[in-house]
Amino acid sequence: MSAGPGRVDGAAVALVATTAEVLAHPELGEGLLAPWERRRLAGIRVPGRRDDVLAARLLLRLCASRATGLEPGDVEPAQRCPGCGRDGHGRPYLPDRPGLGVSFSHADGLAAAAAGPGPVGIDVEPLTRRPGPVSVLRRLLPEYEVDAACAEPDPGPALLRLWVRREALFKAGRDDVRLTEWTDRRRAAVVALAGAAEAPVPSLSPGPAPSPSPSPAPPSGR
């Protein structure tokens, strides 16, 4: 994986990769995971999904490493659930770095992670995924956005973009943050990054940086 801009003060580091790329990365390995993370991995019965979860957790360490200068092995993320308040699942954070937001995401054979100042949320989905049905999306997403997407000649990609944006905002924990969404053609992935107000262009690696398509933040109050 190439370094990208790396440690720019106040900027976020966001990485998207295939699970295979992460697992082949020389700086990363399952040994970096904390015992509680390894216990959670051990409970995942589907090998492909287990690898995706492992890759996302490792990629989070790489992002935080690049944002802080710590070695990936010295990054010690924790998780706390905003729903039930328990540790070990839910929103990731770095107890030692309260000002640095972190987020990770995984989907079939894909992983993404981000680290940056303030609330950060990232979501990755395969380009071919089609969220739905529309009746469900109408309950989860702003109706006018769903209607606009459905008015397009091929609503599928538009609905997917809405979905990853919504997920990234949800993970950031707030709506009034910068939202950037882009397509990584090489990995057939759609990605959204919420937060990291001072980082207009995420540094993506490995591979050439795509052209992000900045999306305006949605109206507040949603």
Stretch that binds Zn ion, among 8-16, 27-35, 74-82, 161-169 (CB under 5 A): 74-82
Q: Closest Cα to residue 202, out of 126, 143, 123, 137? A: 123
Which of 47, 83, 95, 153 is the binder for Zn ion (CB under 5 A)?
A: 83
Shortest CB 85 distance to Zn ion, Å: 7
Stretch that binds Zn ion, among 51-59, 77-85, 101-109, 119-127 (CB under 5 A): 77-85
Q: Residues 195, 167: contact at Cβ < 8 Å? A: no
Element (H, E) at 103: strand 100-107
34 belongs to the binding site for Zn ion (CB under 5 A): no
Stretch that binds Zn ion, among 7-15, 61-69, 71-79, 83-91 (CB under 5 A): 83-91
Shortest CB 79 distance to Zn ion, Å: 9
Q: How many residues bind Zn ion (CB under 5 A)?
A: 3
95 belongs to the binding site for Zn ion (CB under 5 A): no
Stretch that binds Zn ion, among 16-24, 79-87, 111-119, 160-168 (CB under 5 A): 79-87
Per DSSP, the residues of 146-210 read HHHHHTSSSHHHHHHHHHHHHHHHHHHT-SSS-EEEEEEGGGTEEEEEEE-TT-SS----SSPPP
User: Which lies closer to Zn ion via its Cβ, residue 42 or residue 84?
Assistant: 84
Distances (CA, A) of 157 to 51, 121, 152, 160: 26, 21, 9, 5
DSSP summary character for residue 32: G
84 belongs to the binding site for Zn ion (CB under 5 A): yes
Where along the sequence are the contacts to Zn ion (CB under 5 A)? Answer: 81, 83-84
